[in-house]
Structure 1
Amino acid sequence: MDRVLYTASNGAARILEQQSVIANNMANVGTTGFREQLAMYRSVPVVPHAGELPTRVSTVAATPGSEFSQGAMVDTGHSLDAAIAGEGWFAVRTPEGGEAYTRAGEFAVNQQNQLVTQSGLPVLANGGEAIEIPDRGSVTFASDGQISALGAGDNPRDIQQLAQLKLVNPPKDQLVRGDDGLFRLSGGQPAQADPLVRIAPGFVEKSNVNPAAAMVAMISNARQFELQMQVIKNATSNEDRGNSILSAVG
């Protein structure tokens, strides 16, 4: 079979892989704190056999990382909302008991009176423990992550200092995105709290995906896929004609 079929089919497969990444980004345009995933092609020359010319180049799809630029800040006025102002991450506890990082600051209080993310993961304090919120308490965040609360019916002078959010800012090249959308250090160890990270209480950070750019990329990929399919179609047609000629000669 003509080797162009393998080259073209390989290219088509890589386009589909990149298209799935772009589609995932598009699906998370409205997801709070979502970081755009990057997907790129990498050329891989095909090593020819003896006597052949190096005329073919294959491709592989790679996801070298994520886009870490800040998304739009939206003022919600909700007392349990907070957004990272600049660089940094909130620390949460995963179901496996490890530590992971997110920019999504739409917090809530679960039935155990713990501060949690919208997916139910406990938000961590500086010491690595979950944060307990008083029953029906009114919560206030400070810009440095300090959490204070006033219990229902309490005197304003009796405000409680509950804990301080664990805010981290590890080097971006050490962060690895998990299948759950959370980030972790590549070595698996917990990151150290960074006292310089600041939050904006009452705000949330939206996804940093550019919908227009993602749509253009999807259309471009669709056209490239069509070209690869046309190459396969032409190669198949040429092979059929060649076989017809050989059959006629024979």
Structure 2
Amino acid sequence: MKALHIAATGMKAQELNVEVISNNVANMRTTGYKKQRADFQDLLYQNLRRMGAETSSAGTIVPTGVQIGSGVKTAATSRIMSQGTLEQTDKELDVAIRGEGFFQVQLPDGTTAYSRDGSFERDANGTLVTVDGYTIDPGITIPEDSSDLTISADGTVQVIDGAGNQANLGQLQLARFVNKAGLEAIGNNLYLETDASGAAQINNPGDDGFGDIQQGFVESSNVDAVTEISDLIAAQRAYEMNSKIIQAADEMYSTTTNIR
């Protein structure tokens, strides 16, 4: 009887499904977080009677056959890169991307990472950095005696310098990918380029399909609480039904062994 093994694969799949849902719920308030979804595939089949096989010399064939499945497996935990809600903060260094694109972040080892988290700060040198102190690429340094910092929709950063003149400090650039769901999440709201994502395409905000910049806002998580709770209930019921199958198979084994 294969029912025990088949139901066990179903329980393992739903256990992973609940883990994905729990991670989504845990990150409901994480800036720029993109939710994940568990995708499943059926396992190999055993052909007890192959469809299309001839059943007589006259050429009659089996119309459907007999196939027994082996259960389920996890195919992927795909990331859904839909836009999150923009929340107003009124902090001059907070910026959000409205549309396509990622901020470029220089890691300490020289690797370029990508992020939708625009909660920026200034380090001791006035350089624009993430909350972990990683430099935003291209590097922008804000003078200590400047004021009235503005970041326009196209990413241009301007201030009023110590002499009262308007100064242009540079322009933020965005990166986008052919398959952004193929980026590798490494934590700290950062992603890395992979062969699946394709090479980064760099351009200014608002150009050629890139999103624009909204100063004084951050992008919230795209996790929907109602959807996650309903998915959790469905996963719980699927897990319960698979456990019932194991219980039923065990009772059938017990009946067989008790036959006199």
- Which TM-score bucket, shorter chain as reference? 0.7 to 0.9
Structure 2: how far apart are the matches of 1:190 and 1:148? 30
1:42 touches 1:60 (CA, 8 Å); kept in 2?
yes
Partner residue, 2:240: 226
Q: Check 1:160–1:190 CA distance in 2 against 1; reply closer, same or farther (3 A cut).
A: farther
1:148 aligns with 2:158: yes
After TM superposition, give the deviation of residue 244 of structure 1 in Å: 1.7
More deviation in 96-105 or 8-17?
Answer: 96-105
Partner residue, 1:119: 132
After TM superposition, give the deviation of residue 100 of structure 1 in Å: 1.7
Once the two structures are superposed, residues 10-33 of structure 1 have per-residue CA deviations (whole angstroms, 9 ceiling, x without a partner) of 111011112111111111111111
More deviation in 41-50 or 80-89?
Answer: 41-50
Structure 2: how far apart are the matches of 1:94 and 1:236? 54
Structure 2: how far apart are the matches of 1:57 and 1:184? 35
Letter of the structure 1 residue corresponding to residue 19 of structure 2: S
Partner residue, 1:3: 2
More deviation in 23-32 or 39-48?
Answer: 39-48
Letter of the structure 2 residue corresponding to residue 176 of structure 1: L
Give structure 2 stretches of 5+ with no counterpart. Answer: 51-64
Q: Check 1:46–1:112 CA distance in 2 against 1; reply closer, same or farther (3 A cut).
A: farther
Give the TM-score taking structure 2 as reference length. 0.82
Structure 2: how far apart are the matches of 1:202 and 1:227? 49
Partner residue, 2:192: 184
2:99 pairs with 86, 95, 116, which one?
86
Higher strand proportion (structure 1 or 2): 2
Structure 1: how far apart are the matches of 2:130 and 2:23? 21
Structure 2: how far apart are the matches of 1:175 and 1:35? 13
1:209 aligns with 2:209: no
2:185 touches 2:191 (CA, 8 Å); kept in 1?
yes
Partner residue, 1:14: 13
More deviation in 175-184 or 7-16?
Answer: 175-184
2:169 pairs with 162, 173, 182, which one?
162
Partner residue, 1:59: 72
Report how many residues are paired: 238
After TM superposition, give the deviation of residue 131 of structure 1 in Å: 2.9
Give the TM-score taking structure 1 as reference length. 0.85
Q: Check 1:61–1:236 CA distance in 2 against 1; reply closer, same or farther (3 A cut).
A: same
Once the two structures are superposed, residues 155-212 of structure 1 have per-residue CA deviations (whole angstroms, 9 ceiling, x without a partner) of 321x332221121222235741323242333239862322213211111111111111
Higher helix proportion (structure 1 or 2): 1
Partner residue, 2:27: 28
After TM superposition, give the deviation of residue 112 of structure 1 in Å: 4.2
Partner residue, 1:42: 41
Once the two structures are superposed, residues 45-93 of structure 1 have per-residue CA deviations (whole angstroms, 9 ceiling, x without a partner) of 3335799942224211233532122111112111001111211111112
2:116 touches 2:219 (CA, 8 Å); kept in 1?
yes
Structure 1: how far apart are the matches of 2:241 and 2:73? 17
2:123 touches 2:133 (CA, 8 Å); kept in 1?
yes
1:99 aligns with 2:112: yes
Structure 1: how far apart are the matches of 2:115 and 2:200? 13
Letter of the structure 1 residue corresponding to residue 191 of structure 2: F
Instruction: Name the SS of the counterpart of 1:171 in structure 2.
Output: coil
Instruction: Name the SS of the counterpart of 2:137 in structure 1.
Output: coil
Structure 2: how far apart are the matches of 1:10 and 1:174? 26
After TM superposition, give the deviation of residue 149 of structure 1 in Å: 3.2
Structure 1: how far apart are the matches of 2:173 and 2:67? 55
Letter of the structure 2 residue corresponding to residue 213 of structure 1: T
1:174 touches 1:185 (CA, 8 Å); kept in 2?
no
Instruction: Name the SS of the counterpart of 2:222 in structure 1.
Output: coil
1:194 pairs with 198, 203, 228, which one?
203
Q: Pairwise CA RMSD of aligned residues? A: 2.5
Structure 2: how far apart are the matches of 1:116 and 1:53? 62
Partner residue, 2:179: 172
Letter of the structure 1 residue corresponding to residue 101 of structure 2: G
Partner residue, 1:131: 140
- The sequence identity of aligned pairs, in percent, is 28
Instruction: Name the SS of the counterpart of 1:9 in structure 2.
Output: helix
